Homo-oligomer: A and B are copies of this chain.
Amino acid sequence: MKNEQHATDQVVAALLPRDKCAAAHGIELVTVRPGYAEATMQVREDMLNSYGTCHGGMILTLADTAFAYSSLSRNQQTVAQDLSINFIRPGQAGDTLTAIAEERTLGGRTGVYDITVTDSVGKTVALLRGKSFRIGGEIVTTEENEHD
């Protein structure tokens, strides 16, 4: 358990500094645990659509980031296969959105993840579901990494 978290921490340490898109959008990883990731993003001016609310693509960028780290958290190379989103309510300019991604199932080479995006008062902005595919190989080599 402790070792698993250690591997997760190393995965984040290896990948996050190279994630230019997350950095450019001010996305912060609050927590990453095996099968879980929580990320935040403030809705900036350059993220607004023509209605003055958060562009759907920006909500998806935040959610996809949380999804990616939750599926990579077990130190297995994975790729996102698909992602679906239900837009529930707009994200407001200046507000900070939170995306929580949680593993629902993991078996064989595919995993299913639920991602919920909420605004700063806890209201649901979007519900997503994503599927990952394990392409083989580990992300980081850790001595502790002896679990399957």
Residues of A participating in the B interface, judged by any CB pair closer than 8 Å: 14-25, 45-50, 52, 55-58, 60-65, 68, 79-89, 104-105, 107, 110, 112, 114, 124, 127, 129, 131
Interface SS majority for chain A: mixed
> In the complex, which residues of chain B have a beta carbon less than 8 angstroms from the beta carbon of A114?
114
Residue from the list B45, B49, B86 in contact with A81, Cβ < 8 A: B86
- A47 to chain B minimum Cβ distance, whole angstroms, is 5
Residue from the list B82, B104, B105, B127 in contact with A105, Cβ < 8 A: B127
Q: Which B residue's beta carbon lies closest to that of A15?
A: B50
Asked whether B64 lies within 8 Å of A56 as measured between CB atoms, the reply is yes
Q: Which B residue's beta carbon lies closest to that of A107?
A: B88
> In the complex, which residues of chain B have a beta carbon less than 8 angstroms from the beta carbon of A50?
14-19
> In the complex, which residues of chain B have a beta carbon less than 8 angstroms from the beta carbon of A57?
21, 25, 57-58, 60-65
